[in-house]
Structure 1
Amino acid sequence: MPDSKPPFPPFTTETALLKVRAAEDAWNSRDPERVALGYTEDSEWRNRDVFLTGRAEIVAFLREKWARELDYRLRKELWAHSGNRIAVRFEYEWHDAAGQWYRSYGNENWEFDATGLMRRRYASINDLAITERDRRLAPPPESSAAA
């Protein structure tokens, strides 16, 4: 399947964990185009109070997000799964341009199509101001672009 993303539903615990890890890895890349490839062309999102439809809107949203949320680092955890749906809890850390660090907590509900692409993503997120000393998530790996 040219526009697919294994594993495919229905999910087992093992395949749901693979989906969660793949999503975590993609989001930690901070590459909006890479992330968007995991979603259907007409994917529906709710992210906090923002509603999006389609890959183009997802890419634009993520570009703006990562321009504001600097040094973003995410951890996802499988919460539940059934059929073509997965629920996760997550936390991520980031800082703003002024240097204030935050830990954002939330839950996501995901629904996939038969090709393994996510067609719906609903995220509820809360932010907590933290100090840099209070960070728990490892900083992102250094880029090898200087080579």
Structure 2
Amino acid sequence: MADIKPPFTEETARKKVKAAQDMWNTQDPPRVAQGYTPTCIWRNRTSFFSGTENIVEFLTAKWKREHNYRLRKELFSFHDDRIAVQFWYEYQDATDGMRWKRCYGLEDWTFDRETGKMRKRMMSGNDLLLGPDGNGEGRWFVEGVDVNEVPISEKHW
């Protein structure tokens, strides 16, 4: 992911987004953290922190709560060293009786020109319970489905 550096073109921005998606879908916090500068600033919903150690700690806790996590990211906009991303992910919430949820949101990213690593990540997201009582009815990212092939439109929200 770090080999794609700003300034971004539409092609390189799309590649950067898909590389990030693929890395996050590994659910491997130390590996994911390698895509960020050592002092990267994060906002994730109501959590604010920075640095590799805090990123790994945050992601470790996240994926202990979010089982069967499957994520899709799409390029929303880009300019120079910045990319905006629209995303969707589904998971079973271990803190809520393993009920299925989908998170919809936006991220804005700023990258270091020298390393190609992200130096700022700001995320806003909202969760939606899937199906009656969170039984998962209406899931998009079921086992065996390529998250990139799922048609997503406003009618699915």
TM-score by length of 2: 0.85
RMSD: 1.4
**Closer/same/farther in 2, CA of residues 71 and 140 from structure 1, 3 Å limit:** farther
Pair 1:93 & 2:90 matched: yes
Aligned to 2:106: 107
Which residue is 2:143 aligned to?
Answer: 139
Q: Deviations over 1:80-122 (max 9, x none)?
A: 0000000000000001232210000000000000110000000
Gapped regions of structure 2 (runs ≥ 5): 146-157
Is structure 2 residue 5 aligned with structure 1 residue 15? no
Give yes or no for contact 1:71–1:139 (8 Å, CA) kept in 2: no
Q: Please give the alpha-carbon distance, in whole angstroms, between the structure 2 residues aligned to 1:71 and 1:18.
A: 25
Deviation at 1:133, TM superposition (A): 2.2
Question: What is the deviation of 1:140?
Answer: 7.2
> Which runs of 5 or more structure 1 residues have no equivalent in the other structure?
142-147
Structure 1 residue ranges, 4+ long, deviating more than 6 angstroms after superposition: none
Q: Distance in 2 between matches of 1:99 and 1:49?
A: 22
TM-score (norm: length of structure 1): 0.90
Partner of 2:63: 66
CA contact (8 A) 1:73 1:140 kept: no
Deviations 1:37-86 (A, max 9, x none): 00000000000000010010000000000000111100000000000000
> Which segment drifts farther, 130-139 or 88-97?
130-139
Who is 1:116 aligned against? 116
Please say if 1:41 is aligned against 2:38.
Answer: yes
Q: 1:14 to 1:140 in 2, by over 3 A?
A: same
Residue identity in the other structure for 2:59: L
Cα deviation, residue 139, structure 1: 3.0
How many residues matched? 138
